[in-house]
Structure 1
Amino acid sequence: MQIDFSGRRVLITGSTSGIGFAAARGFLAAGAQVILNGRSQARVDAALDRLGAPAPQAVGHAGDLGSAEGCAQLVQRFPQVDILVNNLGIFGPQDFFATDDATWDTFFQTNVMSGVRLARAYAPGMAERGFGRIVFVSSESALNTPADMIHYGFTKTAQLAVSRGLAKRLAGSGVTVNAVLPGPTLSDGVADMLQEEVTRSGRSLEEVATAFIAEHRGSSILRRASTVEEVANMILYTSSSQASATTGAALRVDGGVVDTIA
């Protein structure tokens, strides 16, 4: 199978590191023009330098997409894309009874409404052209709500509802809408979370991650953390012409953490 994105413009939100950056690298290697996004110009510039691709093959946009204004500024600058990867997301453990309204709203605006606003802006043009891909990067937490991150799990479940409903709304248009559900993944954020234990124990990051999964994700079949590249591979396939019959789906890259045959 030869996946080719030549002539396609791809927007990946929250893509200066982690899964988003790995996806950007993959899209570029397959011939796409990629728009990177991060909160600060410094992070965007550093990510572009790491990609090493010349403009306009890779361009960046600095802005907070957790607000309507931030999304509008992005759309004004880039009014047309062929593939939209809603990867932007924040996470962090916090007890339900200590999570105030402002935190709930911040998570909802960042994780859910950023994707809603961008899909609303870009999907009509995709439908007019008869081709488009919209991917929401959700999480296994959408199906397996973590007790210590209920506010986060709620946003990931909401993404599944949006992606499934939007796929139905765009039925027959040539635009597919899917959600990709990573499991425990060695992203930069997870690496930062585990760094204290790495320092304390003297074990490698991979060893600490494997121990974390054994303790907190005992249902894992993979028995290790996924790499960001492994998750990016699913994003790329879902965005390809070869995946034209896949829409309205929740595609798990969770290492078997969700204990179900469906």
Structure 2
Amino acid sequence: MRIDLSGRTALVTGSTQGIGLAIATGLAAAGARVGVNGRGAASVNTAIAAIRAQVPGAEPLPAVGDLSTQDGTNAVVDSLPHVDILVNNLGIFGEKPALDVTDEEWRRYFEVNVLSGVRLTRHYLPRQMDNGWGRVQYIASDSAIATPAEMIHYGVSKTALLGVSRGFAKTAAGTGVTVNSVIAGPTETGGVRDFVYQLVDRDLPWDAAQREFMRAHRPNSLLQRLIQPAEIANMVVYLASPFASATTGGALRVDGGYTDAILP
């Protein structure tokens, strides 16, 4: 299956590292012009250079702005007024006992993890609907379905994305635009490495720490290892393609079989 996104413009939020960078690279490899988003020009330019090194001939575009704020959202929209493919990947996470999560922290998680994508969807979706083609995706998490005791504020924000994407899919019904969520399982990124070492012995070498984390904290995983960011990107690129034209309103799992359910 050769996916060709030539002539399409994409925006991947939070794409200077980790899953977001892998998604931006995957879309660029399929021929899309990809907007790379981060809060600062330095990190965005570094990511653009990395994409160009991986994908000769790619044309990544800077989309600098803090999407947890309206001003930052305006800056991104000004730099990319229209996109055919919107991937709402931006997200924060962290371990904290449920009773210690303050109202301010709850609001911050919803601003970053939920409302950043809602704001962008409100801007880009109507134009996609008018054009009769578009793709909107939200990067959710296995934590949306199996709320982790150590970070319920994160899990609940990801649960919200499943409802948001289903609702916007109904808004776009019959227009040629699809809206979906991708449920990502435990994935090896720099942030996850730090998170793993918050929960297991810091003196363990990485391979042993990863195994101990999966054994003790994610025992349901059928993959029994952390997922690689490119494996998440593969699903996102497929959903962005014409091959996924009949897939909308869904929550598609790339979780290594972690969620013990037939459906989300």
TM-score normalised by the chain length of structure 1: 0.95
Which residue of 2 is the match for residue 131 of structure 1? Answer: 133
Q: Deviations over 1:144-170 (max 9, x none)?
A: 011111111110000000000110111
Moved more, 134-143 or 184-193: 184-193
What is the aligned-residue identity percentage?
A: 48
Runs of 5+ consecutive residues of structure 2 not aligned to the other structure: none
- The Cα of 1:198 is off from its aligned counterpart by 7.9
SS of the residue 1:119 aligns to: helix
Which residue of 2 is the match for residue 31 of structure 1? Answer: 31
Call closer, same or farther: CA 1:199–1:97 in 2, change over 3 Å: closer
Q: Distance in 2 between matches of 1:83 and 1:8?
A: 7
Question: 1:110-129 residue pairs with structure 2 within 5 A?
Answer: 110-129=112-131
Q: Is the 2:51–2:58 contact (alpha carbons within 8 Å) kept by the matching residues of 1?
A: no
Question: 1:137-152 residue pairs with structure 2 within 5 A?
Answer: 137-152=139-154
Q: Deviations over 1:188-232 (max 9, x none)?
A: 21123335768612x2x3442222111111111111111001011
1:104 aligns with 2:76: no
Q: Distance in 2 between matches of 1:110 and 1:4?
A: 31
Call closer, same or farther: CA 1:206–1:59 in 2, change over 3 Å: farther
1:200 aligns with 2:208: no
Which residue of 2 is the match for residue 87 of structure 1? Answer: 89
Which residue of 2 is the match for residue 46 of structure 1? Answer: 46
Q: Distance in 2 between matches of 1:77 and 1:168?
A: 28
Q: Distance in 1 between matches of 2:173 and 2:230?
A: 30
Q: Distance in 2 between matches of 1:231 and 1:85?
A: 12
Q: Distance in 1 between matches of 2:99 and 2:17?
A: 31
Call closer, same or farther: CA 1:194–1:96 in 2, change over 3 Å: closer
Q: Distance in 2 between matches of 1:56 and 1:217?
A: 37
SS of the residue 1:200 aligns to: coil
Q: How many residues align?
A: 260
Moved more, 55-64 or 177-186: 55-64
TM-score normalised by the chain length of structure 2: 0.94
- The Cα of 1:55 is off from its aligned counterpart by 8.9
- The Cα of 1:46 is off from its aligned counterpart by 1.1
Q: Distance in 1 between matches of 2:57 and 2:111?
A: 31
Q: Is the 2:63–2:80 contact (alpha carbons within 8 Å) kept by the matching residues of 1?
A: no
CA RMSD after TM alignment = 1.6
Amino acid at match of 2:251: A
Q: Is the 2:109–2:157 contact (alpha carbons within 8 Å) kept by the matching residues of 1?
A: yes
Q: Deviations over 1:80-114 (max 9, x none)?
A: 00000000000001112111111011000000000
Which residue of 2 is the match for residue 248 of structure 1? Answer: 249
Amino acid at match of 1:39: R
